[in-house]
Structure 1
Amino acid sequence: MSAAQLRHANQLEIIRSEEKDRYMISLLSQQLDELYTKLFGLDHFHIYQSYLHRLSELLYFLTTTLLGRQTIGEEYVCLIQYDPAKKQIPSLFHRVSMVFLRVFGDLISKYLLSSLIIRPLAEEYFHPKLSSQTLELLLNFVLTFVERTHKLFFYLTGSYYDLSKTLTGIRYLIYTRSTAESTSIENKLTRTMKILCLCLCSQHLVESYHQLKQIAVSISQHRQELTRANDNKEKKIISDDSTSATIVSVQCPLCYEPADSNVALVPECGHVFCWQCIHTWVAENQTCPLCKTNTMQSRIIHLINY
């Protein structure tokens, strides 16, 4: 007879629970999107869609975690939230903190990083007047680097999948029966996760290198623009007999900033956006923000010398 016991959930069990929760949140988000379009139409819908997704995520955890219940994903895998410091179910304060950080943590971290760290350091060591595009690239690099590094530690240790749970110290327990077969599967899983972690680490380094290269290009281009502006002492005037290259600004419909050097094209419909804006949008929606034509990240085209 095998002995029943509580143990910490492994990586696959936590991922299955998270995937189920994300699926349920996406269904709730779709319902809120349809409700908004029926009430207010499609005007400015792309501006408020991200807020509707946060609202759906907040409502989902409000009716589950904050009420002391399992989420659908946790119930599906039979996971139990656990506070290892006090060796008990997380308190209401811990659960409220975890949900708040999960829903609004990225906004808080963006504001703090941008205003207190990235902007002062960038202006001191790179240039006194960096473009908003360069600052956005620096901010996204730092956030992405932290998130990917955290995921690597999760695949390696299986402790915390989400940063909100890391900061609040909430782990998962699962009730199982220990057998020789389950022990063997656990050992194989550990080896597999180490291999996966090695692959993800290589991918992480390559993508970080490309992001840093893009930041360096953006800084260089902005320095050249500021140098030309100082030499001319006036605003640039586009004329037919100008000997310099003509620069036509393209305004991104999402952030309303010029996308001179990072223009991205959605090939299915021909609309153009900032490279970072359209990638962030398509990662969540897989549609064009303007006409809702289906697309995906791999099909977006980076326009050079547009």
Structure 2
Amino acid sequence: MADEDFSLSPASAPSPSAHFYPFATSPDIIRSHEKDLFLTSNLVQQAQNIIRSLRGARFAHTYSETIKNLTEILYFSLTTLIGNRTLGEEYCDLVQLEDDTLQLPSFIRRAGYIVSSIIVPWILQRILPAFRQRLRVKLERSIARQQLKAQQAREGTKPSRKDTSKAPSFFTKLRIQKYILEHLDSITSLSPVYAVSIATFYFTGAYYHLSKRLWGLRYVFTKKLEENEQRVGYEVLGVLLVLQIAVQSVLHVKKVGLSLQQEDLETEATHSTGQDDTLIHSIENPPTLPLLPASDARYDLSEDSTAIPWIPSGQQSRCTLCLDPFKDPSVTTCGHVFCWTCVRDWVREKPECPLCRQDVLLSKVLPLRG
């Protein structure tokens, strides 16, 4: 679609009231998004079938995420990037405009939207696990050093009655680091930002994607409306989502407060009795655990076939997904055994068993031990 077909900007600064087309409502935008999602899912499935027939199932499974992202980039490059509407936008009679000029988006904004909505999340998905692992190791070492210093201080000095009656500070370096370590995954996740953005979208009907909000891209509805035709939104869903966020926040604050109170009570009890329970506490709640690099397996049957002696050798000790000997073998609820990384990646994409297609939750996949 040529840019001049929808040149909607007057000589002066435009305003929505002077605009011929009304802004699209949230149901139209969601319907368009779901249509594009359905089409891209079909394209991804067809691309995976082609790759599977050319390079084999193992290659297709290993690079399934890459195939998905490249297919989506190709789809939006052939539509949004060159200035055309997507099939979902055509299906719902929507046209994308810049929110400040009410003109068709420039090439920079179209390209920026594709990069920020597909490529940036793809890169973050690949680098975040390693970043979290390094940060987790540093936090565990720092917490262990601080706990050791606190233990040595308690052993070296006898606390006075004045010290035992003094309440510890609510915010300390140790407590902050413990909190970050315990909630590292959620802190380094964009899910809360997405939730707030979606709640705002339900109220305003603008910027369904966070990337569209970043680049200032809005939709207008190009279909002619009848005089008595009313357009509804999803404000009720926005209220429900805000309530959900509020309840989760209150429960989280309450949980953290209770854990801090329990920690204060344990500290006061230790000071009052004069008994050092640090050893028992460290056994029950170890400050650090031996960690393996993300690429290493704790049980690798390709290196040691007797690592788990009750798994028979030969073909039965091979994963049906990667066709290699088991690495950290894990069993699903239906009883089938796969490598941990293989079944984890599979269930994240399709929550079902690769063999019998029974529903499988990642939290229900159990690792096997010798």
Q: Does TM, normalized by the shorter one, top 0.5?
A: yes
Aligned to 2:3: none
Q: Which of 225, 242, 261 is the equivalent residue of 1:177? A: 225
Aligned to 1:230: none
- After superposition, residues 273-288 of structure 1 pair within 5 angstroms as 281-288=346-353
Tell me, what secondary structure is at the counterpart of 2:357?
Answer: coil
Does 2:191 match 1:148?
no
Paired amino acid for 2:82? L
Q: Which of 53, 76, 79 is the equivalent residue of 2:68? A: 53
Does 2:318 match 1:271?
no
**Alpha-carbon spacing, 1:77–1:195, altered in 2? closer, same or farther (3 Å):** same
- After superposition, residues 1-306 of structure 1 pair within 5 angstroms as 5-110=20-125, 122=136, 125-128=139-142, 138=185, 142-175=189-222, 176-177=224-225, 179-182=227-230, 185-186=231-232, 189-198=233-242, 200-201=244-245, 205=249, 223-225=288-290, 265-271=331-337, 281-288=346-353, 291-296=354-359, 301=364, 303=366
Separation in 2 of the partners of 1:11 and 1:277?
A: 38
Separation in 2 of the partners of 1:221 and 1:99?
A: 45
Displacement of 1:164: 1.8
Separation in 2 of the partners of 1:114 and 1:152?
A: 28
Displacement of 1:72: 0.7
Deviations 1:53-83 (A, max 9, x none): 1111011111111121110100010111110
Runs of 5+ unmatched residues, structure 1: 213-219, 227-235, 237-251
Runs of 5+ unmatched residues, structure 2: 1-18, 145-180, 257-284, 292-297, 299-318
Larger radius of gyration: 2
Separation in 2 of the partners of 1:36 and 1:122?
A: 37
- Structure-2-length-normalised TM-score: 0.56
**Alpha-carbon spacing, 1:97–1:292, altered in 2? closer, same or farther (3 Å):** farther
Deviations 1:153-185 (A, max 9, x none): 222322211122122111111124263440xx4
Taking only aligned residues, the RMSD between alpha carbons, in angstroms, comes to: 4.5
Displacement of 1:266: 2.6
Paired amino acid for 2:245? C
* Count of residues in correspondence between the two structures: 259
Q: Would the aligned equivalents of 1:33 and 1:49 in 2 still touch at CA under 8 Å?
A: yes
Separation in 1 of the partners of 2:251 and 2:349?
A: 19
Identity %: 26
Paired amino acid for 2:364? I
Paired amino acid for 1:104? I
- Structure-1-length-normalised TM-score: 0.66
